[in-house]
Amino acid sequence: MLAAVGVVAGVLTGRPAFDTVNGCGFPVDRYPSATARDWVDHADVVIVGRAVRERESGRRELAAGAYLYQLERTVELTRESLPFTSPARSHPNVGAAVDYIAPGWKILRSDGSTRVDDLVGDAPRVVPGHTYILALRWQDDRWVALGEGAVVPFDDQVVGRGEWCGDVLDTDGFAEGERISRRDDHSLEKALIGRGEDALTRELDRAARQKSSD
């Protein structure tokens, strides 16, 4: 049943009615990830990275349901800049290339070969050919995103432009899908939509100063 709901949600990506239907897939939040303060508190690094290639990096057999296997996907990112590095925790240095664990695929049980994209709720899938801002944490010897709010489309150096939920959107489409227009949304995505890296750096610097003064 959950698999069927996920497929339906994926079909609705980028369309109206986001008040009642999740944008795509199911949210995965390892840590708070909505605001600049969340990023400063919980991320080891914030990078601007362009996805250049992807590979299968593991598989898990599923005992029941529509899918036979769940496949892990590793995306190689070319690091374009490093707007934030946490001074509070130890982690590896970020090189010119970063391996990032992203939503992968599922294999249909019915034929044992058809791949279906895994989609995380209201977040980019991270697809080669597109650029992103990512708030990452070193966990279990690999880089993972804090949560659905920690991966932001950034094609052409514009927040909210690019791939989201597997589709390519402009800033208006991204705002609709992310429910950014809601008054109670105080996310970093909303604060920065349509802006560039200088605005991102200012928000992170402000959050870091507030943290140090607490």
Domain ranges of the chain: 2-8+26-213
The whole-number pLDDT of residue 166 equals: 87
What pTM value is reported for the model?
0.84
Mean pLDDT over 53-81 rounds to 96
How confident is residue 19, by pLDDT bands cut at 50, 70 and 90? very low
CB 163 within 8 A of CB 24: no
pLDDT in tens, 20-34: 234 576 666 789 999
Percent of the chain with pLDDT over 70: 83
Distance between CA atoms of 81 and 106, rounded to whole angstroms? Answer: 32
Torsion on CA atoms 157, 166, 191, 149, rounded to nearest 10: -120
The whole-number pLDDT of residue 39 equals: 97
**Strand (E) positions, the chain?**
45-61, 67-85, 97-108, 115-117, 131-139, 142-145, 151-153, 162-164, 167-169
Give me the phi and psi of 199, to 5 degrees please: -65, -40
Distance between CA atoms of 20 and 93, rounded to whole angstroms? Answer: 41
Distance between CA atoms of 150 and 134, rounded to whole angstroms? Answer: 6
How confident is residue 5, by pLDDT bands cut at 50, 70 and 90? very low
Give me the phi and psi of 168, to 5 degrees please: -100, 120
